[in-house]
Amino acid sequence: MATPARGPSVKTPDKKRIASLDGIRGVCAMIVVTTHVAFSTFVLPSSAGPPTEGIWSILWAGQVGAIGPFFIMSGLFLYRPFARATLAGTPQPRLGIYFVRRASRLLPAFWVLCAFSLIVLNLSSITGVWDVLRPFLLMHIYDFHWYAGLDVAWTVPAETQFYVALPIIAWVMHRLARGVADPARKARRMLIPLGLLVVVQLGWALYINSSFGPWPPQFFYPFGVSGLFAIGMAMAVWSVLTEVSPDKAPKFFSWATRRPNLFWLAALVPYVINCAQPFSIPGTADWLSPEAAVIRSALMLIFSFLVMVPLVVPGASSRLMEVSLGNWPLRFLGRISYGLYLWHFAVMYLVFQSGSIFGETVPVQALLGKFGFWELLIPTVVGTIVIATISYYVLERPILKLTDRLGKKKTAPSVATSEAGKPAPEFTSSGAGRP
């Protein structure tokens, strides 16, 4: 009987990290940081005039999908045990342990940022207890209130709600597949809800950009990234299907195994298209028309999918991937990527000297173009790396290790096996896809 192709790693008790996935986290986190610096210095709304830096404004404004791989990895890592339970008949994951691990990964570091932002940057704008509790309860994107330093923290509620919704979605997918014996048919049925989530993302982009004024609170609701989570869950379905029935693996799995770099080359196509910003003005940062918003959302889905395929398909590897993502600096940045993502806006406000400790908190939108790119980039990157490193080693990693130890006391670790009796390919999910 054929043995499934080996994946990038095998699940081990110490949850060994995968170099390429840490590397892509590092790349994407730094792109997010650099992009926000660019959008604060020279990628400005069209009302400010034509692109100030020509081709560089166009290239940075065309950045699409840097956060996409994070959501895809969350969907892949977290749904994979549920997918294996449906397709391979392994026990269902224990939800208590699942929720404790997700909370311990996401919330402590975010709560520290909330405390810092409230005290240092927003103290003068606090008018009551609810202003303090709102971000800690992840309500700041619903009962909308602007907090300096939490500008990109909308993804934390989005991730949290996906964590809560995932077992429900997994239950629906399991019910759809339970009456079928053939693994390939099971997999096809499991993909139906995921296709609907992709439609939800595109529909949401159309709805908010046609129904509201510029940058409404609804822009930050999790529906806008539901398709990215769905792509990750679909990858989990396909990877488990490859384990249990290697001959039923999707065709693109074999393509990625033979020519992984072609997927990265193909990812340049949606990026270049987005640089042209169809139905919008290249090199600018405007609120998009409905047509432009749907196209951009679709390009994000395609770009993120193409980037991630060669990184998660069992047996797909290339020298380019190893050199570009497996080097120590990017792997390190990948490990601290959550802190990089959380803290870079707070550091930018400190560089701007905007915040309660400076006497007045001025929204970053009012400071666009006031600094030069390198003048803002260098202190932002250095300061964010320092804070993210401290956050990872002092707070995030110790809490995750404690959570894992407590989890092991309640359940014995298991290693999934293929039909041939060998360990199946597995990816570490201790950090999920969080940046």
Say if residues 247 and 201 touch (Cβ distance below 8 Å). no
Helix (H, G, I), strand (E, B) or coil at 417: strand
Distance CA(60)–CA(77), nearest Å, equals 30
Give how far Cα 300 sits from Cα of 72, 248, 297, Å. Answer: 11, 28, 5
CB of 347 closer than 8 Å to CB of 120: no
Q: What is the reported pLDDT for 134? A: 94
What Rg, from alpha-carbon coordinates, does the chain have? 22
The pLDDT assigned to 432 comes to 57
Q: Which two tokens stand for residue 49?
A: 């005039």
Count other Cβ atoms within 10 Å, centred on residue 151: 18
Exposure on the CB side of residue 112, measured as CA atoms within 13 A: 17
Q: How far apart are CA 5 and CA 388, in angstroms?
A: 36
| pLDDT of res. 14 | 35
Across the 435 residues of the chain, what is the mean pLDDT of every consecutive 10-residue run? 37 56 96 94 88 92 91 96 95 94 95 96 92 94 88 90 96 94 94 97 97 90 95 97 93 94 96 95 94 97 96 90 93 97 96 90 82 95 98 96 78 41 41 58
Angle CA 333–336–337, to nearest 5: 75
pLDDT for the residue 406: 77
